Structure 1
């Protein structure tokens, strides 16, 4: 009996290390399985989070496009359950795997119908800002706009008074004429939406202008320069206009608006002004004279008609306009530029044609950038003294081309800040213009 007990004890002692080794090997395999399962879980969660983000982006884009097509803000579509719901319950992995779970409602993605609606309205806001600058917003009852524009104009002209000897040597006076003008214009505008297709507009400008005249050859010396500075302030020419929506944006067709308006000569006209004589010759010939005050208007009634179009091409917004301005002749008590004489007569400014085109991009829900080109071509003006014949004014025609860069920032849901830089591309255009606008929608 003792022998049997001893034999069993010996066999257990010999077998125990083998059993322990087998158990250790089984434990190692289980740990490897756990690690493999955790890795698979992390990969599945990452893939799931990526698909959720894609669904959110697609839902936001679909709702924004539907808002543009309909032309008005629609109710937010129900967000797919997978995008709006929470992450399905999964077995709690080890703590090392929990860091892979994405936060709910990650920034930049619509995690609810409300956020999708906000994204849709933000996309529509950029389009509305462009429409507001090109024509009008027809879904607003009343819009008040305050704007401030600074323009710089500088033109130099070489004047030769003499003749050429031997076709090579100039004999006479050489004078350099320079005109520098700085103008600051405050404009108050009111836009009243009569109905969803018609808007009435009123623009009332107030102008402050400073002009510096320089003329070489003072006193008969080419090296001497005479200079005089004049100013002028007052209300400008008031414009009353209307916008009528011909077509709404649908498919390939842009939103098309017809514009018509009348400009009244409420500003100070440039005819019949008092002149200041700076220099006379010995024979009493006026060599240098400037107006005592600067004009604030053109003195004539004008009517304009035009078309503007805006088309959304996500992510860009395309716009353009074309128009015609007709000037009506008017009589004045004095149209002579000579300070010593008074000659009544009529003035007929040349008609003008204008066009422009550009593109705008929305950076985010508040900011957009626009770039455009505009051009205005004016025909030559004509004058007629009393009981005389019409005569063309040489040099009165012009072509003013401008490159415009603009930035729009939505301050609130009702107020927008617009800044615009215009760069003159032709001699008839201002060197540059800088404008700031603040439209407020009531």
Structure 2
């Protein structure tokens, strides 16, 4: 009995020592372990919940924007305005809370807001497309524009011969032509379908030209000057734009353009002349047209391609084309004021191209820079009963560097301004274009 009691006492003392030394789990420690595991699991579940909420908010925004785009396209095809749809609250019981969070983050919370956001983004792109004849909105657009162009040409004329390959014997005349033109353009474009647009352009032109000729009266120091003006309807152009390909992926929006120009302006053939100076032998040394022409006098047809590619925030655009001039007969094609010779005129065909980039600073304003060039072949004339003759110096290469700005004045009106700087002798020294397209 004494031994059994001693063994029990020894075991009790051993267990007490383990507990005192922290080597035996106590009741409190056994209760804390499940609580810690529960807290870690709760934190994990909360993190997963927040991630799902964020993903859900993004998906709701995408659904609303996609729904707004579909409704806008359906309304455009049907010809009715897009109406806002109720928010998809049936997606989840907490969709109202998620939608509120999306709206606070700057996303559209309704279909109407999503459509408005998409319209703001598209506005700058549409303005650039409108200038490149690549806008098909099924509406009637009226455009009023004014263009001012300045030309200044100086040419040294030598009438004589060289002696000993170094000394010039004869008359030296300096010819200078300064021209200012102001053109008002009334244009209309009508979207027949989502792929076809018809257009008409009617210009009214005012011109003033100053002619200066050195060597008047045989004296190199004397300068004769004469000014002539002219105004009236110019050559009217009718055109059509057909969308070949819509913008998709890497492929730009591609539009086929065709136009025909009628000779409705005053032609530069058979005009009256004013004789300013004659030689002693009655030879005309200086004569100017009595009135400035307002047209080319021949029918012309054009065919080209326009391309536009939007790469946020830049918009790339370019064009290429060809203009053919048809032959036409006139009662007088002689430049001599005192003779009349009927014949035919064939202006040189022209090839043109251009490319540029526009930057949309916001939903209303964009700036652009571009280069355009137009190269024309020599003109030919043929008097009655004679062969064709090429006119020396009638070929041209007009290259222009353009700086433009577009600004949305209202949902229907846009301000367009373009400054052109000539980089070749045949181009205007500079030109300034201001126009306002208005969609009805």
Give the TM-score normalised by structure 2.
0.78
Structure 2 Cα separation of the partners of residues 71 and 285 of structure 1? 72
After superposing on structure 2, the runs of 4+ consecutive aligned residues of structure 1 that deviate more than 3 Å are: 70-84, 109-117
Structure 1 Cα separation of the partners of residues 280 and 188 of structure 2? 56
Structure 2 Cα separation of the partners of residues 59 and 318 of structure 1? 29
Structure 1 Cα separation of the partners of residues 427 and 330 of structure 2? 27
Q: How does 1:401-440 map to 2 (within 5 A)?
A: 401-440=399-438
Structure 1 Cα separation of the partners of residues 143 and 73 of structure 2? 23
Q: Which residue of 2 aligns with 1:229?
A: 227
Query: Residue 189 and residue 165 in structure 1: after superposition, are their counterparts in 2 closer, same or farther (change >3 A)?
Result: same
Does structure 1 residue 158 correspond to structure 2 residue 156? yes
Structure 2 Cα separation of the partners of residues 75 and 299 of structure 1? 52
Instruction: Summarize deviations over 1:105-126 as a string: whole Å, max 9, x none.
Output: 58xx446345443332111011
Q: Which residue of 1 aligns with 2:321?
A: 323
Deviation of the 1:67 alpha carbon: 6.1
Deviation of the 1:71 alpha carbon: 8.1
Structure 2 Cα separation of the partners of residues 133 and 399 of structure 1? 23
Instruction: Summarize deviations over 1:79-98 as a string: whole Å, max 9, x none.
Output: 997774259xxxxxxxxxxx
Structure 2 Cα separation of the partners of residues 424 and 67 of structure 1? 43
Structure 1 Cα separation of the partners of residues 191 and 113 of structure 2? 30
Instruction: Summarize deviations over 1:306-342 as a string: whole Å, max 9, x none.
Output: 1101111111111111101000000001001110111
Give the TM-score normalised by structure 1.
0.78
Q: Which residue of 2 aligns with 1:364?
A: 362
Structure 2 Cα separation of the partners of residues 207 and 200 of structure 1? 23
Q: Which residue of 1 aligns with 2:117?
A: 119
Q: Which residue of 1 aligns with 2:37?
A: none
Structure 2 Cα separation of the partners of residues 179 and 75 of structure 1? 60
Structure 1 Cα separation of the partners of residues 428 and 73 of structure 2? 37
Does structure 1 residue 246 correspond to structure 2 residue 244? yes
Q: Which residue of 2 aligns with 1:291?
A: 289
Structure 2 Cα separation of the partners of residues 403 and 317 of structure 1? 18
Q: How does 1:177-216 map to 2 (within 5 A)?
A: 177-216=175-214
Query: Residue 169 and residue 432 in structure 1: after superposition, are their counterparts in 2 closer, same or farther (change >3 A)?
Result: same
Does structure 1 residue 313 correspond to structure 2 residue 311? yes
Q: How does 1:257-406 map to 2 (within 5 A)?
A: 257-406=255-404
In structure 1, the residue corresponding to 2:151 is in which secondary structure? strand
Structure 2 Cα separation of the partners of residues 306 and 297 of structure 1? 22
In structure 2, the residue corresponding to 1:85 is in which secondary structure? helix
Deviation of the 1:76 alpha carbon: 8.6
In structure 2, the residue corresponding to 1:268 is in which secondary structure? coil
Structure 2 Cα separation of the partners of residues 71 and 135 of structure 1? 21
In structure 1, the residue corresponding to 2:373 is in which secondary structure? strand
- Gaps spanning 5+ residues in structure 1: where? 1-47, 88-103
In structure 1, the residue corresponding to 2:270 is in which secondary structure? coil
Deviation of the 1:284 alpha carbon: 0.2
